A and B are shown apart, each in its own frame.
Chain A
Amino acid sequence: MQPIIITTLEEYYPEHAQPKVADKNDLKASVEAAGLSDMWNMILTFDYGVTSPDELSPEKRDEFLNVMSLLLKAFDR
C-alpha cells in the first residue's frame, strides 16, 4: 500500500475522527429515498440470509452497511 503523504495541515484528518460505518437507520432512509430498496432487500436476503441488519453480527452488519454505502455512491444518489 502506498503511504499517505500529508503536506498541509488542512489535509490532516485525525485518526479518531475517521468516518465510521454509516448509521443503519440513516442509511436505510437514504437507500429508500434513492429508490434502491430492491438492492437493499436482495443483497440482505440472498447473501446475508436475513430480513433485517439487526439479525447480523456487528461485523457482518458493518460489512452490509458498507455495501449499501457503496450502492449509493455507485448510483450517485
Chain B
Amino acid sequence: MLTRPEKFFTEIGTDAIDRGLADPMLSEFFSAVMSSQTGTQALRLKSFLPYLSLCSDRVTDDGPPPIFYVGSQSSQRDLFGEGWAAPATVSKALTTPDPELEHAAADGYRSALNGKPYYGYARTPVSIDGNLVEVAFERLIVAIRPSVQSDYRFCAYFGVIQDLQKKT
C-alpha cells in the first residue's frame, strides 16, 4: 500500500517551469517577469494580477510577509474565502488563517527575497474556520521591485491548487 507524508513542502526549482512541467498560466507569468528588467517587472503584472496574491518584503522567523492584495481568481481566495480575502474592516495585517501553514511556507518567501524565485509543491492539512482540509498546490514566488527608484520590494505569489479534500 502506498503511503505519503501528511505534510510536505518541497522546492522543485524553476528549471521545471522552463521544461514545461508547471501550470501554463503560472509558466506564462514566470516568463513575463523573468524577461523584464528589474524595475519594469511590475508593468507586466496587469494580466496576471487576478491570479496573484501580493505581500510585503517583511518576512519573519515565524512566517511569510503579510499579504495586502488577493486577486479575484487567486488560489488563496478560493481556499480561504471572500471574507478572509476582502475583510470589511482592517484592524491588523493579513496572514493566512493557519499558523502552521504560515510557518511552513516562509522559506519560499525567504528564497525569493534573496533573489532566487521559488517554485515548489506542497501537500498539507489546513485549518479553515475550524474545518480541516488537505490541499496540494504548486506555488511560484517572485520578489519584484515596483520601479527602479523604489526602496522596497513586494512578493508576488502564484498558486495553483492541484487537489483539495475535506478531512474527516
Contact = CB atoms under 8 A, between A and B. Distances in A.
Interface residues of A, number: 25
Listed residue (B45, B69, B90, B147) with the most chain A CB atoms within 10 angstroms of its CB: B90
| Interface of B (DSSP majority class) | loop
Contact of B90 (A36, A47, A66): A66
Interface stretch (A4-12, A14-22, A50-58): A14-22
B93 interface: yes
A22 B91 CA distance: 11
B55 to A, nearest CB: 6
A76 to B, nearest CB: 6
Interface residues of B, number: 32
B22 interface: no
Nearest to A63: B86
Interface string B74-96: 00000000000011111111100
A25 interface: no
Interface in A3-51: 18-22, 35-36, 38-39, 42-43, 46-47
7 contacts: A19-B91, A35-B150, A38-B150, A63-B86, A70-B68, A71-B68, A75-B152
